[in-house]
Structure 1
Amino acid sequence: MTAGVDLAARVAALIARDGVEARPAEAGAGAWPSGLAEPPDLAALYAAAGGLALPDGTVILPRGEVARATAWLVEERSLDWEDDLLVIGEREDLVIVLDLDVEGARAGGGVLEVPTDGLASFQRVARSVVGYVERRLGVPGAEPASPEVLAREAAARRDLPALAAALAEPMYPGAERQTAHAALTLGALLSARGDEAALEAFARSVEARVAAAPRGAAGPERAAAWRACEIAAREAGAEVIAAACAARGKGGG
């Protein structure tokens, strides 16, 4: 099966699910924002429907409304958004944004959820719009979520292989605190196995916490972060790793 057929089949399956309302395909025939390539999954979606409304209140805009909705929001809220960030939907108090990441500067982009009262607080939740809709609908075998979501879910399950795999992927800018928590959990799991790779995970957790710290607070934040790693290692029964964390914390490393 070709990628195009696969996307078309996925879209058709979404539209056929109970509670999904699809606008006529003609409504999706408007112009895509000038100068930007339309992702294949959205092209497949708009070939079949002019936008979607899901049972949970999620709305995916028709193609012809994307540029207008983006321009209105950016102007209305005086936003300093990059040109490749596009409003493609909404749900309750969230704006759904597609980051095309044309320059490859934001971990490959994807689908972001942004609170209406914090339009610079991007949270990446999916890799593509079709994948986002699949997860909102709970489709079995849906496209994997964003690395940030996968890391959070794996940390909650304390699933070491899944957590390591998620953290191996580039994380979206602004996800430093999520990354710090996930890496701290990975370090604890590795410590419980006596694996010295725990120190690498802990070091990543520390650097992520420091990156998220307010200006001028890097030193205290680094010390506190290493102290958290020391405690996690000690609770895992890894005294040697805990001692190494304590030494790094004192040395500012």
Structure 2
Amino acid sequence: MTAVLLGTDIPLGPRVTGSVHSWDLSTGVDGPGTRFVTFLAGCPLTCLYCHNPDTLAMRNGRRTGVDEVVAEAAKYTSFIRASGGGATVSGGEPLLQPVFTGELFHRFKHELGLHTALDTSGFLGARASDGLLADVDLVLLDIKSWDRGLYRRVTGRPLEPTLDFARRLADLGKDVWVRFVLVPGLTDPVENVEGVASFAASLGNVSRVNVLPFHKLGAAKWEALGREFTLADTPSPTPAQVGAARDVFTAHGLKAI
């Protein structure tokens, strides 16, 4: 008999499928060490600076079984372990497909013995069951702005679900890396950075903050999709601007990279 998720007709185990955009090996920004990163398709946010707009629609992914993804990751496990790495599920937004994401984490952790990381905006955090989170070692949580109006302008969505999810992760004692994209003229006001830093410091479970400089590497993808990249004329922040933002987080006792 095939097990099913309670209250649904979705089978668990190797028959679970999801919309997968791609996978790749990554070092540095997707968690510690070298990571096998699975990029899922579909995202409820419409971030102005999204560098993977080709992952926003689930139809842009390929229907893929858990077995196929795990088999691919298994090819690199020795190399990944040697680097102190693991497996990250990213997107898009992984929690748009919580059953598939949960099964991937379970198999990565218990079958392959890999450190696991969830890369999420937190907007759909309520869809993450406690069971899913039990198989996650690290959450990479994007907090894109503290100013509520600015957050909605940047993402098209409200901030509160992300904050609620962050507090839940704190209650669970889950290790979190906060990620904040610094966009000159948009997210860089000191009071906005200060708000994110103060909140992150209050949680008690944030072991690192990544201040990510805005870039335009995804502009060609926007053009290929026939969509306007509204930040085309926005410059990347200078090293001094990035350093100043990191200093704000450091002043709150956080490790900022």
Structure with the higher helix share, 1 or 2: 1
* Structure having the higher Rg: 1
Structure with the higher strand share, 1 or 2: 2
Whether these two folds match at TM > 0.5 is: no
> TM-score when scaled to structure 1?
0.31
Structure number with greater CO (CA < 8 Å, separation at least 6) is 2
> TM-score when scaled to structure 2?
0.31
